[in-house]
């Protein structure tokens, strides 16, 4: 048992051939380096929530389904969140919005940042997602990452040829995010 503050690094694509797992694992390792926080991967593919099926809105906190209670407990067990996801058609993956919409108060006041990726870094997805994080009253950190992954970086099956080499330019920003996350959680004491 550790008394370190726990940060969930959320894998936000559930496609069977996704690159998100590798990108998120790399981000987790970069955040974790020399950090006093404990960064843990959580995979929305494992959590496997159905499309939102609660009869009442989450703000009322009268959950009917076991999967919602399990998700609520898991989210409450983390002090902060780092979301990793691709840009899809100028937006962010629906599975991620679904997972957010299941809960409400659980997200409040939690520090949050994100890493998007796409051929131009996924800036449109990042912008929309940040708006939603504000709607959920999360404490959005100053820094986030928009990682550029172009056709030159991937093979014919759209898998990264050199994950470390492609993502390395973003490492300094991840170190900054760890600093901001640490500061946000220290402030909240």
Residue nearer to ligand FMN on the CB measure, 70 or 119? 119
List C-alpha distances in Å: 94 to 74, 131, 134, 169, 187.
20, 15, 18, 28, 33
Q: Smallest distance, Å, CB 32 to ligand FMN?
A: 21
Instruction: Report the length, in residues, of the chain.
Output: 189
Residue nearer to ligand FMN on the CB measure, 80 or 118? 118
Cβ atoms of residues 18 and 154 within 8 Å:
no
Q: How far apart are CA 180 and CA 83, in angstroms?
A: 15
Q: How far apart are CA 80 and CA 93, in angstroms?
A: 20
Cβ burial 38-63 (10 Å sphere, 16+ → b, else e) = ebebbbbeebebeeeebeeebeeeeb
Q: Smallest distance, Å, CB 187 to ligand FMN?
A: 33
Q: Smallest distance, Å, CB 117 to ligand FMN?
A: 6
Residue nearer to ligand FMN on the CB measure, 37 or 45? 45
Q: Smallest distance, Å, CB 89 to ligand FMN?
A: 5
Residue nearer to ligand FMN on the CB measure, 37 or 154? 154
Residue nearer to ligand FMN on the CB measure, 62 or 119? 119
Cβ atoms of residues 112 and 138 within 8 Å:
yes
Q: Smallest distance, Å, CB 169 to ligand FMN?
A: 17
Residues in touch with ligand FMN (CB under 6 A) = 13, 15, 18-20, 86-90, 118-120, 158
């Amino acid at each position: 048992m550790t008394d370190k503050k726990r940060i969930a690094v959320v894998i936000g694509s559930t496609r069977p051939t996704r690159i998100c797992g590798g990108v998120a694992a790399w981000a987790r390792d970069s955040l974790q380096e020399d950090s006093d926080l404990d960064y843990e991967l959580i995979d929305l593919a494992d959590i496997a929530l159905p499309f939102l099926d609660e009869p009442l809105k989450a703000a009322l906190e009268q959950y009917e389904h076991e999967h919602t209670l399990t998700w609520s407990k898991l989210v409450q067990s983390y002090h902060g969140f780092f979301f990793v996801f691709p840009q899809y058609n100028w937006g962010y993956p629906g599975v991620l919005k679904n997972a957010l919409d299941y809960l409400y108060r659980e997200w409040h006041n939690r520090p949050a940042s994100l890493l998007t990726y796409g051929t131009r870094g996924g800036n449109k997805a990042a912008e929309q997602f940040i708006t939603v994080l504000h709607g959920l009253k999360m404490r959005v950190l100053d820094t986030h990452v928009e990682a550029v992954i172009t056709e030159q970086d991937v093979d014919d099956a759209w898998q990264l040829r050199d994950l470390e080499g492609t993502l390395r330019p973003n490492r300094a920003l991840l170190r900054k995010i760890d600093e901001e996350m640490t500061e946000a959680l220290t402030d909240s004491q």
